[in-house]
Structure 1
């Protein structure tokens, strides 16, 4: 009896997703600065959580593994996990299937407490242009592997089908996949750090259906340009995408 091709395809998709998440996780959960070990550990874990590298309800790597990857003691990891659990991001469970898990519902942002100046918004968006336009151009100029191409298609499909409450997370994952496709490992954490800053701004403005539809069109155009090796179009479309977001942020926040 032949194997079910649908089941085989599903297993392959799951394996690809696990590989993509592991790649991003390795890039973000990198050694921290020794003078700020606790603060940097909290920051790295928050990046991994809020950028969607791990999904709600998914378990964190064991403390021993996190400590090794971050270059800190297990006590530092434990303190960081406890702080994030107290803040509502993580849940610790005991027993045979215990461990530390992402909360099913992450804390909602409190935009009424956020205040951003025009200069802060402009600075974040100009840095984003430097990083992400460069990433798109570099990715389009490379000979991508089959895994790279599939990762881009997969992340594009995820964000196009995203529910409003998942949109920011899946949008971030697509942009991280583009950074990974550029083939410059040190670029990924820089994009992630800027993306954290960007999401703080975006969380303060409403999701507009038309803007989401337009963003989806731009996302597809960027991915298609990268896959076609059209560096100029990839860079131009990413530039327009970046400054479309900037226009909304300036309009709502300054």
Structure 2
């Protein structure tokens, strides 16, 4: 048991809003206690999860930094993690050569470096116990060249690939790894990434509730990966038979600033 409640423990990153908030709620509704983390206020998420009967610990930290990951690992206090939902991440719009490289670095360190650091620390303990579930939020963006989102799509290509590789490394254990690959979702992502004046920013989107439910169910079933939404499943399938140059041009049409 992780604490006096006797409930399993789930760690959810990027839980202040959007998909992360809904993943936290899914875990709370299904009997987990929570440690939730984000670089933004978590009060609303925590209150909603406590209303579902969960004990909730919060941590405000920038998981793009080693100090942030250290703080999250320390907050565990040696408790076993039954489910790690590595959801922290953000985007960055506009042309790569026009971007502030500090912002570029922060996207890479959030989406890749901090995520892998946390997964390695928690995953080692899971492997030692021969038990645990890991859900990693990737994206269908990782399946195509991201013109005007080149860094973000590149990081998600890395994460999508990494998740399948880690899963295979752990195939002889009782630790499962699942990658959730959403498409455009109705969250603060597009505002934070400065993509509100693009076709994708103003187009139709899935609800974060439906995306989180899809990801949570896939994690619990131990699936390798899941694309949320039938339109996104179709788009993902088409990327396998469409030349990268064509995909890059299509992405330009979706993500070029001022083209909404």
So what's the TM-score if we normalise by structure 2? 0.32
The structure with higher relative contact order (CA 8 Å, sep 6+) is 1
Structure with larger Rg:
1
So what's the TM-score if we normalise by structure 1? 0.33
Larger strand share, 1 or 2: 2
